[in-house]
Amino acid sequence: MSASREQFGSRLGFILAAAGSAVGIGNLVGFPVAAAKYGGGAFLFIYAIFIVLVCLPVMMAELSVGRSSQKDPLGSYHKLSEGSGLWSIAGWLVLITPYMIAVFYTVITIWLFGYLFEAATGNLAQLADPDNFGTFINSNKVFIYFLAVAALVNLILVGGVKDGIERSAKIMMPALFVMLIGLVIFVLTLDNAFAGLSYYLIPDFSKINAGVVNSALSQAFFSLSLGMGIMITYGSYMSRGETIAGSAKFIALTDTVVAFFAGLLILPAIFSFNPNINTAELSDSSVSLIFTFLPKIFLALQGSIGYVGASAVASVFFMLVFFAAITSLVSITEVPVSSLVGEKGYSRPKALLVLTVTMGLISIACILSFGRVEWLSGFVSYAGESKSLFDVIIDVFYETVLPLNGLLLCLFVSYRWKKHNFHKEMEISDATYQGSLLGRYVDFSLSTFIPVILLLIFVNTVALKYFGVSFIG
Ligand code: PHE
């Protein structure tokens, strides 16, 4: 069976697909917001260190597990642990996580599609109204946009690895790079853009504390799509003719460069709109930045480039974020698809149908949890806050479980699958890996301090999120 497993058609195709997964809303909005709040260049510096020292080894481990086992995450844990029941818990966890993240990511992607549609059809002024977002998420239009997003994801995934995922990444990723660079150039020509630029790049180390360090690592981990089974799944479609270390470095570099460029776009845009902005007030969440603050900035451009020009800029921006979101959504939905195909023997269309219906129902429950249905809107309450179903899914699966999955993977690779098997996989088509400084570093870090760091983040998040107890600043 493993001999017939579908593969990416080329190295470039694989890299674009994996980078497509990594580049998402986290890069385009989450990263610039975090950089603005946490000391600009100082945050960048810490983020870059975490990408290289912590996230890169974890990515290599995930890709190796997938390529070696030639299976989905659940099957990988099962096969490489030789059927150990305890490790299949880790396998299940890394299957449920992408399933639930896909649910909330779908909801945000639907909103992006809606905003793209509205901006492109002349409704920018309405989008810029501060009350619009609240009305929009509870309007029935959302269900139509939902059908459009679900249809697009299905259309891509039904084509399989090469003709679906790879082909769409080869179209959307270059388009994304061009739109991003075009917008950065445009924004830098605006008045006061350079105030934003210097705010972004000049480091302010006084803003760094333990909480910021924690955020930088969580952001880096999420941004590289780790702990979600995606890199295990994509690794299983990777050819043995490629080097894992080289590919992982390239994916991480692309992801980081896109995040950096997104900062060059968002911060100058914010400062050109209001040079005296107090960045501490800058919205806490990426969601309010994209859907409330940025439309106001786009509309303000009408003074210099007219309403049509402003709508065009807004449309390109929403298209950019939408492309980034769709390639990520495709990658995360592929994880349960590959499990249903691999473990249950479903055909791809059948797996997609089952997932579209079941995940779709939970997504709809999330859509109804913004006030329309009372018990979904006040689903539970912890640490003194009432949470909607949507909030709970984000808290549990995005904020909490990712580092736990990363921790389990590091322990699995180092102590159960065993280092020599991991090395063997890393050395395939890579004569330079054995004995290299990188090889020794990856080996040491994955079995020692990376799991410790991930454990600390996990414990800290649980204490803070659910019990309101803060161990660190
Ligand atoms: N790396 C993605 C981002 O930055 C995270 C993600 C991947 C989320 C896949 C969902 C699905 O947004």
Give the three-class secondary structure for 301. coil
Give the closest residue (by CA) to ligand 1 atom 8. Answer: 328
| 413, part of any domain | no
Residue 326 included in any domain: yes
401 inside domain = no
Q: Using the predicted structure, report yes or no on whether residue 278 has a pLDDT greater than 90.
A: no
CB 460 within 8 A of CB 214: yes
Find the 220 Cα to ligand 1 centroid distance in Å: 11
Closest Cα to atom 9, ligand 1: which residue? 328
Q: Given a cut of 60, is residue 167 above it in pLDDT?
A: yes
- Residue 386 is classified by DSSP as E
Within 6 A (CB) of ligand 1 lie 21-22, 24-27, 101, 105, 222-223, 225, 328-329, 331-332
Is residue 380 domain-resident? no
User: Which of 231, 328, 399 best tests ligand 1's pocket when mutated (most atoms within 8 Å of CB)?
Assistant: 328
Distances (CA, A) of 440 to 49, 57, 450: 18, 11, 14
In angstroms, what is the span from residue 41 Cα to ligand 1's centroid? 23
Q: Is residue 275 part of a domain?
A: yes
- Residue 381 phi, psi (nearest 5): -140, 135
- Check pLDDT > 90 for residue 102: yes
pLDDT-derived band at 283 (thresholds 50, 70, 90) equals low
- The domain in which residue 226 lies consists of 2-372
Q: Rounded CA gap, 328 and 226, in Å?
A: 12
Using the mean position of ligand 1's atoms as its centre, give its distance from the Cα of residue 25 in Å.
Answer: 7
pLDDT digits (tens, 9 = 90+) for 340-397: 999 999 999 999 999 999 999 999 999 999 999 999 999 999 988 999 999 999 999 9
Kindly list the distances between the CA atom of residue 423 and the CA atoms of 73, 244, 405, 418, 427, in Å, as whole numbers in the listed order: 19, 11, 21, 9, 6
Please list, in sequence order, all residues whose beta carbon lies within 8 angstroms of the beta carbon of residue 166, skipping any fewer than 6 positions away: 8, 9, 10, 13, 14, 16, 17
pLDDT at position 312 over 70: yes
Please give the pLDDT value at position 274. Answer: 86
To test the pocket of ligand 1, the residue of 31, 110, 149, 225 to mutate (highest count of ligand atoms within 8 Å of its CB) is 225
CATH of the domain at 169: 1.10.4160.10
Q: Which residues pair with 385 in a beta bridge?
A: 382
> What pLDDT is recorded for position 67?
98
The ligand 1 atom nearest the CA atom of 325? 12
Report yes or no on 363 lying in a domain. yes
Here the tokens at position 171 are 């179209």
Residue 435 lies in a domain: no
**CB neighbours of 429 closer than 8 A, spacing ≥ 6?**
240, 241, 242, 243
Predicted local distance difference test score (pLDDT) of residue 171: 97
- How far away, in angstroms, is 94 Cα from ligand 1 center? 15
Number of domains making up the chain: 1
Please identify, by atom number, the ligand 1 atom nearest to the C-alpha of residue 329. 11
Q: How far apart (Å, rounded) are the C-alpha atoms in residues 456 and 444?
A: 18
Q: How far is the CA of 189 from the centre of ligand 1 (A)?
A: 30
Q: Percent of the chain scored above 90 by pLDDT?
A: 88
Atom nearest to 224 CA in ligand 1? 1
Q: Which amino acid is at 337?
A: V
Q: Residue 318: inside a domain, yes or no?
A: yes
383 φ/ψ sector (left φ>0, alpha ψ -120 to 50, else beta): left
pLDDT digits 0-9 by tens, 394-412: 999 988 999 999 999 999 9
Ligand 1 atom with minimal separation from the 230 CA: 9
pLDDT at residue 1 is higher than 50:
no
The model's pLDDT over 10-62, given as tens digits with 9 standing for 90+, comes to 999 999 999 999 999 999 999 998 998 899 999 999 999 999 999 999 999 99
Give the Å distance between the CA of 328 and the centre of ligand 1.
5
424 C-alpha to ligand 1 centroid (Å): 29
Which pTM does this prediction carry? 0.95
Those residues with Cβ within 8 angstroms of residue 88's Cβ, 6 or more apart along the chain or in another chain: 74, 77, 78, 81
Ligand 1 atom closest to the Cα of residue 105 is 10
Residue 6 Cα to ligand 1 middle (Å): 23
For 29, 60, 156, 302, 424, the CA distances from 250, given in Å and listed in that order, are 21, 11, 24, 39, 21
Residue 26 CA: nearest ligand 1 atom is 4
193-214 pLDDT per residue, tens = 999 999 999 999 999 998 889 8
* H-helix or E-strand spanning residue 385: strand 385-387
State the distance from the centre of ligand 1 to the C-alpha of 126, rounded, in angstroms. Answer: 29
CA distances from 12 to 99, 171, 230, 250, 251 (A): 27, 12, 18, 10, 11
Helix (H, G, I), strand (E, B) or coil at 24: coil
How remote is the CA of residue 26 from the centroid of ligand 1, in Å?
6
| Cα distances (Å, whole numbers) of residue 19 to 38, 174, 252, 292 | 26, 11, 8, 28
